[in-house]
Structure 1
C-alpha cells in the first residue's frame, strides 16, 4: 500500500501517516514506558503545524528510516510540513543512531559524535527537539504550541504524568523535554538497531557470504587495499555485532554542490554549506565543509548518497572515493553524468590523508565492496535490495 502511496503522491502518504497516528494514539491507549510513549509520538502528525508530518514522515521505518517521498529535487532532500520548504541536506537514517557518542572533541583535536550531520545536538534527546520547531520541517512556532498539541490527547496527558510526574505540564519547557526524552527512548530500542543483517548472521554462522561479498569484506577491513575502514570502522574487532561502520568523526571528502537541490530550494549554487561550522561549539575555520561520517548500516537501501544526496547510486560513491587514488579515465568520470567530477563545494579542508590511503581499485574490487555493503542491510529491508 505504501508503494501505491508513493506513486500517487505526498498527500496519500500523509493520509497513511494520519491513519497510523489514529491507530496508535486514538482510543484508550496506555503507555507504560517512555519508549512506548515515544513510539506514539514518533508517528504523530499532530505535532506539526499543519498536522501533516511526523518524525516517521522523514524517517520512515519501512524504508530504512529515511524519507521515501519524491520532491522537485528527487529524493535528495525532504519537503516540510508546509508542502513548500525544501531542505539542503539529505535526511540521514535514524537506524543505529543511538550508537553515536555524545558530541565531544578528542585529544588529537578531532571532533566526534553528536546528532545531525553537523553534530549540533550532542545526543538523541537533543536531536528529538529540533524538527518540531524547525520552520522547514514540522514548522511549530514554539514549545508552548507543541505542548498544547500534546495536551489535546488525553492518553498522552495520563502517560506523561505517570512517567514524569503530575507537575510535568506546569512548565512548557519541562513538558517539551519529557517529549524529547520519550522519543529518544523509543529510538534506543532494537526496532532501530536489530543487528540482523546478512553480515551479522554470517558472523553467527547462520549464513555464508558469497565469494564476491567475502572479497568485499576482506577489502573493506583491509589496512592495505582500501581506505574504507579509515572512517567506517568503529570497533577494533572485525567480529563485533555492534559494529556500526562509522567512527563518528567529521571529514570533508570533496563532495560537489547538488545543483538540482540548489535550484529547487532557491539557495543557489554560490551558497556554501558550512558543515561542522554550523555547530555552535565549533569555530575553527579548518572545520568548514566537514560532515559526520554516516553509518553504513542499511546504506544500500537508503540512497541517495552524501550529505546533499548528490549521488543516486551506491556504486557511484565507491567510484568517487577511487578518484583520489586512480588515474584511470573511468575513475575520473562521474558514471551518473558521464562528465568529469565537479569540483568540491569546499576545497581547502579536504581529508586527503584518509582519502589518499590505499591503492587504486579495479572494477572487480569496486563491485565486491558494493556487494559487501549490501550485506549490511537489516533483514526487514532485504526486499528493498531487489526492488
Structure 2
C-alpha cells in the first residue's frame, strides 16, 4: 500500500497548478508539492512517529481521530505519553484566517491556534515540531538536520529557496514552514464542495429539516449562530467559512476527563496565553472555529469537552431558557458545569434570541451536517 503522502501527491497532481523549476532533480517541483511531503513526514518528530497529518488527518477532516486515555478530546504527543490540554482544530479552511489583530471595535480577531498566537499558516506550521509535548524536537537546527537526511528535500529546497538555504538553520526552518503553508493553501484543504455548496450552485436541494436549519442559522431573530459564525454579508456567499474569527468566552466548562490524565492545572487562559495580549478582560476567550466539516471533526470546543454536536446546540441553548431540563448535559446526565473563567463571559451574544425547541435544535444539527465536504460525507453515516 502506498504511504499517505504518495496517495495525496497523486491527488494534488490534479488539484494543484505546479510550475517546473529549472534544473530541479528532486520530485518536488513546487513549494506545494514539497509541503505535501513534509506534511506527512514523521521523521520531523523526535521519535520519528508523528507528522502534521497525525493530528490533522486528511481522512478525518484534517482533525485528530486517534483515541487516547482522554478519548479524542486532546492529542497524544510523539513520545507516546504526553497529552495536550486543547483539542487539535481542523486544518481545513485554515488558510482563510486573517492575521491576528484588533478590529475597529477593539475585539481581537484572527490568528491560528485557539488563542490566535500564530499570525499565519507559516507561523502555525513552525509550532508543533518544537513543542515538547507534540513533535518534541529540541530546536530548529535539529529539524533542519532531519531535513538534510533526505536528498530529495535538499535538492528541492536548494532549487526553490536558493542554493545556500541550509547555511542558516533559521532560514531553512522558515522555508520548511513556507512549503507546508503552501500545501495547506491548496484546494485539497478547502474544496467548497459540501451539500450546502452544491445547494448554492443549484445542484441539489436541502431537506425540510436542513432548510429550516439554514433559515434559523442565518436569522438573528431566532438564533445567535450567525453573530459569530458568519463572515460574509450575504448568507448565500459561496466563500462563507462560517466564522468571523473573533475571540469570545462562551463559558466552556473544564474537561475534567482530560485533566485527569494530562495533569494540566488551573484555568486555560485562552487569549491571555497569547504573548501579544495582556488585558485581563481577555481571559477565557478563544477563536471562533469554522463550522465547515464540524459534523465529522468532533469532539467539540477548545478542550474537546463535548462529544456530540447536538450537545453543543443544547449548551448554547441553555443561556436562553430557564427550563431546568434544558440545563442538563445529556452526555453526563448532570447540569452543564460552570465556565472556567466566568467574569469575561460573552453574555450579550450568548443570550441573544429565544429558546429553541427540539425540532429547531435538530434542524440546526441537520443544517450543520450539510457543511461536510463531499469526500467526508461517508463519515456522517459512521
Between the aligned partners of 2:234 and 2:294, the Cα distance in structure 1 is: 21
Partner SS for 1:360: coil
Between the aligned partners of 2:73 and 2:203, the Cα distance in structure 1 is: 36
Given the alignment, which residue of 124, 137, 145 partners 1:140? Answer: 137
Q: Deviation at 1:172?
A: 0.1
Between the aligned partners of 1:71 and 1:187, the Cα distance in structure 2 is: 26
Deviations 1:73-112 (A, max 9, x none): 0000000000000000000000100000011111211000
Q: Deviation at 1:281?
A: 0.6
Deviations 1:192-249 (A, max 9, x none): 0000000000000111000000000000000100000000000001111110000000
Please tell me whether residue 334 in structure 1 is matched to residue 329 in structure 2. yes
Q: Deviation at 1:22?
A: 7.8
Where do 5+ consecutive residues of structure 1 fail to align?
A: 1-15
Partner SS for 1:176: helix
Between the aligned partners of 1:24 and 1:287, the Cα distance in structure 2 is: 40
Given the alignment, which residue of 119, 124, 144 partners 1:122? Answer: 119
Between the aligned partners of 1:340 and 1:316, the Cα distance in structure 2 is: 12
Between the aligned partners of 2:366 and 2:324, the Cα distance in structure 1 is: 23
Q: Which residue of 1 aligns with 2:106?
A: 109
Q: Is the 8 A contact 2:26 2:156 kept in 1?
A: no
Please tell me whether residue 152 in structure 1 is matched to residue 177 in structure 2. no
Q: Deviation at 1:328?
A: 1.7
Given the alignment, which residue of 219, 229, 235 partners 2:216? Answer: 219
Q: Is the 8 A contact 1:38 1:183 kept in 2?
A: yes
Q: Which residue of 1 aligns with 2:303?
A: 308
Partner SS for 2:325: coil
Between the aligned partners of 2:292 and 2:5, the Cα distance in structure 1 is: 27
Partner SS for 2:36: helix
Given the alignment, which residue of 192, 196, 210 partners 1:195? Answer: 192
Q: Which residue of 2 aligns with 1:281?
A: 276
Please tell me whether residue 355 in structure 1 is matched to residue 355 in structure 2. no
Q: Deviation at 1:330?
A: 2.6
Please tell me whether residue 56 in structure 1 is matched to residue 62 in structure 2. no
Q: Which residue of 1 aligns with 2:294?
A: 299
Q: Which residue of 2 aligns with 1:79?
A: 76
Q: Deviation at 1:21?
A: 5.5
Partner SS for 1:331: helix
Between the aligned partners of 2:161 and 2:8, the Cα distance in structure 1 is: 21
Q: TM-score, normalised by structure 2?
A: 0.94
List 4+ stretches of structure 1 deviating above 2 A: 19-25
Q: Is the 8 A contact 1:21 1:45 kept in 2?
A: no
Between the aligned partners of 2:146 and 2:248, the Cα distance in structure 1 is: 39
Q: Deviation at 1:327?
A: 1.4
Q: Deviation at 1:329?
A: 2.4
Deviations 1:124-147 (A, max 9, x none): 011010000000000000000000
Between the aligned partners of 1:331 and 1:229, the Cα distance in structure 2 is: 22
Q: TM-score, normalised by structure 1?
A: 0.93
Between the aligned partners of 1:309 and 1:240, the Cα distance in structure 2 is: 30
Given the alignment, which residue of 374, 381, 386 partners 2:376? Answer: 381
Between the aligned partners of 1:251 and 1:245, the Cα distance in structure 2 is: 15
| Range moving further from structure 2, 92-101 or 333-342 | 333-342
Partner SS for 1:238: coil
Q: Which residue of 2 aligns with 1:99?
A: 96
| Range moving further from structure 2, 51-60 or 322-331 | 322-331
Deviations 1:276-296 (A, max 9, x none): 011111110000000000000
Q: Which residue of 2 aligns with 1:7?
A: none
Please tell me whether residue 369 in structure 1 is matched to residue 369 in structure 2. no
Q: Which residue of 2 aligns with 1:6?
A: none
Between the aligned partners of 1:109 and 1:205, the Cα distance in structure 2 is: 39
Deviations 1:237-269 (A, max 9, x none): 11111100000000000011000000010124x
Partner SS for 1:370: helix
Between the aligned partners of 2:44 and 2:158, the Cα distance in structure 1 is: 19
Structure 1 segment 25-40 matched on structure 2, within 5 A: 29-40=26-37
